[in-house]
């Protein structure tokens, strides 16, 4: 076998190995039940703020401690602890995507993404003089 063929095979094997490792790191949206089953592993959980329970944030006492309850897509409600400041317009969000891990039945979040209602949702738009 030629040296170029051997080098080419090694490069292909390295590319395949890198691709397999990258695919293994892709995360999907999970539920609290899945995150609770594998406590300590980082997950993305999608849900909505549970407005029936209290939200705790006291900037005077600790500006980097924020807790609330979220209902995931399966309907399970869990307490979420976020070590950061309360996001602006948090109460107006229609959907939350949390990145974090479960610990002792609570979700410790390190990142919050919020989907807020569009200000154009209920408005009619006018294009070329006609209503759309």
Task: Give the pLDDT of residue 65.
Answer: 94
Average pLDDT, the chain: 84
Phi-psi region of 16 (alpha: psi -120 to 50; beta: other; left: phi over 0): alpha
In whole angstroms, what is the distance from residue 36 CA to residue 104 CA?
9
The structural domain count of the chain equals: 1
91 in a structural domain: yes
Task: Give the pLDDT of residue 2.
Answer: 84
Phi, psi dihedrals of residue 91, rounded to the nearest 5°: -65, -25
pLDDT above 60 (res 127): no
67 in a structural domain: yes
Q: What is the CATH number of the domain that holds 62?
A: 2.40.50.140
60 in a structural domain: yes
125 in a structural domain: no
| Per-residue model confidence as pLDDT tens digits over 25-55 | 555 788 999 889 988 889 999 999 998 999 9
Task: Give the pLDDT of residue 25.
Answer: 52
In whole angstroms, what is the distance from residue 83 CA to residue 126 CA?
44
Task: Give the pLDDT of residue 72.
Answer: 94
3 in a structural domain: no
In whole angstroms, what is the distance from residue 130 CA to residue 64 CA?
50
In whole angstroms, what is the distance from residue 106 CA to residue 81 CA?
7
pTM score, whole prediction: 0.68
Q: Which domain, by its residues, includes 107?
A: 27-115
């Amino acid at each position: 076998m030629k040296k170029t063929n051997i080098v080419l095979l090694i490069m292909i094997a390295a590319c395949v190995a890198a691709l397999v490792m990258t695919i293994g790191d892709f995360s999907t949206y999970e539920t609290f039940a899945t995150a609770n089953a594998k406590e300590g592993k980082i997950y993305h959980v999608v849900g909505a703020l549970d407005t029936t329970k209290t939200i705790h944030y006291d900037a005077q006492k600790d500006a980097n401690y924020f807790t609330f309850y979220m209902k995931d897509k399966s309907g399970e409600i869990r307490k979420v602890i976020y070590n950061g400041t309360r996001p602006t317009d948090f109460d107006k969000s229609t959907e939350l995507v949390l990145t974090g891990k479960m610990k002792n039945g609570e979700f410790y979040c390190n990142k919050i993404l919020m989907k807020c209602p569009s200000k154009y949702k209920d408005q009619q738009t006018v294009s070329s003089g006609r209503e759309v």
